[in-house]
Structures are given as structure tokens and as C-alpha cells.
Structure 1
């Protein structure tokens, strides 16, 4: 059967699906088949059409694929093209104006780590909002309350804004390209390997979009978390704690001041805040049954 005829017949999706089934069950066209061998998938009309169109030829014992090498090559090329088209359908939603505004505001808040004026302005405003809490609770308990609050909205924001479907589609695409490349190498199909390498290079270009996708929820989380951290820093290092708020009693280390190093160079108040935040987020995720992972499913 001429190559052009094979390619023309396989342009029909129904015929391509039918011959794909036959090709797989005949061990890549090396074995003869009867219709009963594929009757659970192909109708008798489809089987007959494959014979009429010359993709199947009688070999005495049954029917075999005509020109199996060419048919296999076309099927692999079609699979590669379909995978590329499907991958290109992964569309990363651009940031809205309010996402960009949140990003600019976050950059301004970041400046508070180095600029005393910005830090004092933000912390003083936070101090007014938190006055009822600081008046009612000791500082270590205030940190726990803030950790729970920040952990709650961080978890909810990430669950709400993280596009897990797009991330999963992108990761599945990367995995699928890797598997196809390994299979092509095992077959010794250098042309297909080159095509897949080109697709992998295109996928690398999509990483910027994936980075923006991942970074979007982080912008909103930082927009609300940075002011809390700046207030804690202002409270401890600025001398705004009460006279009895000297520090914590921790296992092994004993009594340590809030500004004393506790874990390497990290001071007690930072370690306490991050420990409370980590525990709070884990508990909240378990309690609300929120899954933030976007690992590809098996």
C-alpha cells in the first residue's frame, strides 16, 4: 500500500483509532489477527473498512497490517502531534489588575524590612488593631493567636487561588514527554527523539507561566503576613514589650529572652513564631481537609 494512501486513510480519526487497536494487538503488526481478536473494540463495519482501504491484507492465517513500519511511524507522529496540541492547550490565566496591585503593595511592605520609617508606620497601625489582644494575653499567646489567624487565611488563600488543574496538566505533560522520549530511545527512533526534545524546549518556555501561577497565591499571603511579621519585629526589637515579657522557657535551653539566639542565629521570637505557624497550618489543613499538593496523579 503506497505511503500516501496510508497517510490519507489515517487522517480519519475513526480509522486511526481502529488501526491503532489492531496495531497494538498484533504486536506492532507482526502477527495475524481475526476480527474476533478485536471485536470487543472494533465493529464489523470498521474491520471491513480497514480491509477495503487496504490497511489490512489477508495472509492466509488471518489478516495482517499492510506496511506495518510505515503505519507505526505515522501513528507515532500523530501521537506526538496530538500531545503537542494538547500541551499547548495549557493556558495560564494572566494576572488581573488587582493581582498586580497586590504585588506592588507587597513590594512596598517588603521595604519595611530595611526602611525604619515604613516599618514603624505599618507596625504602629497594626498595634492599634491588635491592642485588645495584647492587653488581654501575654506575648507568647499573642504569637499563637497570630499564627493561627495567619495560618488560616494563608491556607484558605492558597487553596482558593492555586490552580491545581493547570499545574497538574503541566506536570503531567513533562512526565509524558519524558516517558515518550525514553520509549523512543529504546526503539532507536532518532527522529521522534528529536521531535520530543523540541517539545521539551517549548515546555521550558512555559515555566515562566507556571512560576507566575505558583507565585500568585504567595503574593496575597505575603500581603497579609508581612505586616504581622513587621509588627512582631517592632514589638520585640523596638522595646515595646511589657516589663514582664522577657522570654520563654523552652526544653533543654531553659529560660531564654525573646532576642536571644535559640536555633543557630535565629532568635527566640522568630523560632516561636515559625514553629507556631507551621503547626497551625498543619492542623488547619487536616481539620478542613485541604489538599495543597499538585503532584500528578498516578
Structure 2
């Protein structure tokens, strides 16, 4: 299948509304040339942009033109052909057009980058630690520090799970994985048949799928930004409270902790290589609570195409 025809098939296959958009552009095109003013009453700006992004519309003399009118029309026809019985396009299409970050996501990302300074700049750590102590200080005054860490691990595990469940589209991620498996299988079959034309078409499809992959990486990183946005201040408070870092002074009497296979240890003592007792205890609590939360809320973080 030719390149433009394949792109049109993929586009209308992933979004039923795009078929009408492509047909409108074909009807309004004059010798292949078409301008936004000619179709804006029928197309959305997003649909127009996707046609340009996919290379179906390219720069023309006065506006835009169809890269290949014949192939564009062919791409709208029912796909009943194939080589050796295999489908000439991926059986699983993924629409990642809605993977852009909102202004709030971008704002949280910028603030998160600034919060990272607290790990190396004591002045930033002291400010954030002092602010967080307004809320966490009374908790530390009522509970031993190991219990405070457990409470923080429970809280961070809860909102991390909820953020991932609500901000990540597991079905879309599963569909993307299915699409990649389908492409790999068809590529393997084409190599066994020695079908060079099919291989070339599949390679073009793989290149287009790379754009989907970047969109999925953005979707996966989106909840991580919010998780770090909420979690870094908690970590910086623990840094500030027990005096982690060179020349840092503890602000609470945390005492000691008894760890399995380690025994009694200071909170800032390295117990697992360079990892100090407080971070080891936090991760142990966090992993345990996270599993309990996911089971209790019946939240499955595995990608699924079903």
C-alpha cells in the first residue's frame, strides 16, 4: 500500500469523524488545492491540523494541497486487500490526540523542578521543611517517628495510586501495546514471505507509531509530575526533621529504629549501602501500603486493551 493511502486508512480507522473530514477536503479541493477558509464550516481546527500533521495535506501554491489525491481516495475505500492473507494495516489503532498536558500539568512540572533544589540547597530545604512542619509537626509530637513515617507512606501511597488510576489511560496504553505486537507479528510474517513491499509499508507504520509512543510516554509521566509535586515536600520535611545532609541539624528527637536483619540503627545511618535507615523504612512501608490500597480499591495498574 502506498504511503498516503496507508496514512489515510490509519487516520479514519482511529477516528470515525476523520472519514467525513477527508471526504470534505476531497470535495472542496480545486485541482488538489484547498484552503482552511474552504472547509472551516465542516472541519474542526483539530481535524485540519491532523491532516497536516499526517502529511495528507502539504504546502501548496496559495494554501495547502493534497499530497496525492488518488491515494487519499483509495485510503477511504474498504480495506479488503492484503498480502498472503495478512492485514495491510494494523488491526489496533491508537488515538493519542488527547495526550497534551494542561496548563496546570505544566505548572506543576515547573514547580516540581524547583522543589528538587531543596535536596541540594539547604536554604530551600529549610523553608519548605518549616512550612510543612506546621502540619506535620503536631503529628510528630504525638507519634514516634517510625509511626510518622508509616502515616506519610500511607498518605503518599494513597494519593499516588489514585493519581495514577485517574490520570493514566490503561486501556489506551494496552491498545498501544497490542498495536506494536501486531506490527511486529506482521513484520515477522512479511520477512518469512520475502514480501519487500509489505515490509516497507510496515516500516513506515512503525515510524508513525513512534509518535504515538511519545504521546504515551507523556501520559505515563503526567501522574508522576503530580506525585512528585506532592511527595517532594514530604521528603524535604523528613530531611529537615532528622537532619539529613552535611552540617544539617535535626529539628525533632526521632530516637532510633529497629530494622529486620539490621537491629537498632540511627535514622541517618546507612543500612543498605548508601541508603539510610529512614528511606529504607519509608520504602518498606510505602510498598506494603500501596499493595494493600490497590487490592482494597480494586485498582489494576496493568495496561489492558479490553
Shift of 1:118: 1.4
Report the equivalent of 1:10. Answer: none
Which residue in the other structure is 1:109 paired with? 115
1:267 CA drift (Å): 0.7
Q: What's 2:262 paired with?
A: 253
Please name the residue that 2:249 is paired with: 239
Task: Quote the Cα distance in structure 2 between the aligned partners of 1:106 and 1:172.
Answer: 33
Question: Is 2:81 the partner of 1:74?
Answer: yes
- Report the CA distance between 1:75 and its aligned residue: 2.7
Partner Cα distance (1:219, 1:96) in 2: 12
The corresponding residue for 1:218 is: 224
Decide whether the 8 Å contact of 1:92 with 1:213 is kept in 2.
no
Match of 2:171 among 155, 165, 174: 165
How far is the alpha carbon of 1:261 from its aligned partner? 0.7
CA displacement, residues 138-196 of structure 1 (integer Å, 9 cap, x when unaligned): 10100000100111011011101011122122111111100111122222222111211
Mapped to 1, the partners of 2:219 and 2:95 lie a distance apart of 15
- For residues 64-114 of structure 1, the C-alpha deviation after alignment (integer angstroms, 9 at most, x for no partner) is xxxxxxxx9933499755438x63644342111111111111111112111
Tell me which structure has the larger Cα radius of gyration.
Answer: 1
2:93 alignment partner, SS class = helix
The aligned counterpart of 2:198 is: 192
Written as runs of structure 1 = structure 2, the 5 A alignment for 1:1-298 is 74-76=81-83, 82-83=89-90, 87=93, 89-237=95-243, 238-243=248-253, 245-294=254-303
Structure having the larger proportion of residues in helix? 1
Matched positions, count:
224
Tell me by how many angstroms 1:227 deviates.
0.5
Tell me how far apart the structure 2 counterparts of residues 142 and 171 of structure 1 sit (CA, whole Å). Answer: 40
Separation in 2, partners of 1:159, 1:296: 15
Question: CA distance change for structure 1 residues 150 and 88 in 2, over 3 Å: closer, same or farther?
Answer: closer
* Distance (whole Å) between structure 1 residues aligned to residue 275 and residue 95 of structure 2: 46
**Structure 2: which 5+ residue stretches go unaligned?**
1-78
Question: Per-residue deviation at 1:117?
Answer: 1.5
TM-align CA RMSD: 2.3
Write the deviation string for residues 49-75 of structure 1: whole angstroms up to 9, x where unpaired.
xxxxxxxxxxxxxxxxxxxxxxx9933
Q: Secondary structure at the match of 2:257?
A: strand
Unaligned runs of 5+ residues in structure 1 are: 1-71
Query: Does the 8 A contact of 1:148 with 1:277 survive in 2?
Result: yes
> How far apart, in 2, do the equivalents of 1:94 and 1:196 lie?
27
